[in-house]
Structure 1
Amino acid sequence: MTDHHTYGTSTHTADELARLVSDRIGLVFTERDSDYRGVYHLGDNPKARIEIQPNPIPGDDGEDDLYAPEHSSAQVLLLTTTSTPDPSLHTRLRSLEGLIHLNHETC
């Protein structure tokens, strides 16, 4: 089983959110650059994978595309993946001002 959550914000930039989340949960983020996703931040530990992704990403046509068009109001997304539900992680994330829980899926 895999537990996925999506959060969004238009209050913080991706860099700011990475610093805030790092301070809140003690996870170190690494900046990554992808042709498909643009620049995003990855925090990975044995219990959770957390990605901070700008929603607008550079498109092939010079126009920005949305990484998650279903959440078009969010400028930055925070994506979590854990092997089992982690209520304490989500309690800490929900306490961040300006971060809104958008979606939850269990596979």
Structure 2
Amino acid sequence: MTDHHTYGTSTHTAGELVRLVSDRLGLVFTERDSNYRGVYHLAGSPSGRVEIQPNPIPGDDGEDDLYALEYPEAQVLLLTTTPTADSALQARLGSIEGLIHLNHETVWTATEQPPG
């Protein structure tokens, strides 16, 4: 099982959110530059990974494209991936003012069975 959560904000810039999440979770983010995603920030730990991604990313045509089309109102996205549900992580992120939980998805591998 892999647990994914998506958060969004239009209150904070990516840099501000990196500082807030670093302080709240004690994570160290590294800046990454991708042709596909633009500049984003990544923090990994034994319990998963947290990414902070601007939603508008530079497009090939000189216009910005959205990383997540389904959330046009979110200027910055925060993406979490953990091997199991992590309610403590979700509670700490939920306490950040201006950060809104947008989506949750649990992915099961072919050899796993979902509960029920």
Structure 1 stretches of 4+ moved >4 Å = none
Figure out how many residues of one structure are paired with residues of the other and give that number: 107
TM-score scaled by length of structure 1: 0.99
Structure with more of its chain in helix, by fraction: 1
TM-score scaled by length of structure 2: 0.92
Within 2, Cα distance between the matches of 1:103 and 1:74? 12
Could you report, residue by residue, the CA deviation over 1:29-74 in whole angstroms, capped at 9, with x for unpaired residues? 0000001100000000110100000000000000000000100000
Task: Mark the structure with the bigger radius of gyration.
Answer: 2
Within 2, Cα distance between the matches of 1:8 and 1:48? 19
Alignment partner, residue 32 of structure 2: 32
% identity of equivalent residues: 79
Within 2, Cα distance between the matches of 1:22 and 1:10? 18
Secondary structure class of the residue paired with 1:69: coil
Residue 13 of structure 2 corresponds to residue 13 of structure 1: yes
Alignment partner, residue 113 of structure 2: none
Within 1, Cα distance between the matches of 2:69 and 2:79? 15
Within 1, Cα distance between the matches of 2:48 and 2:19? 17
Task: Give the CA RMSD over aligned residues.
Answer: 0.3
Secondary structure class of the residue paired with 1:89: helix
Q: Which amino acid is the alignment partner of residue 14 of structure 1?
A: A
Can you give the 5+ residue segments of structure 1 that lack an aligned partner in the other structure?
A: none
Within 2, Cα distance between the matches of 1:25 and 1:49? 12
Can you give the 5+ residue segments of structure 2 that lack an aligned partner in the other structure?
A: 108-116
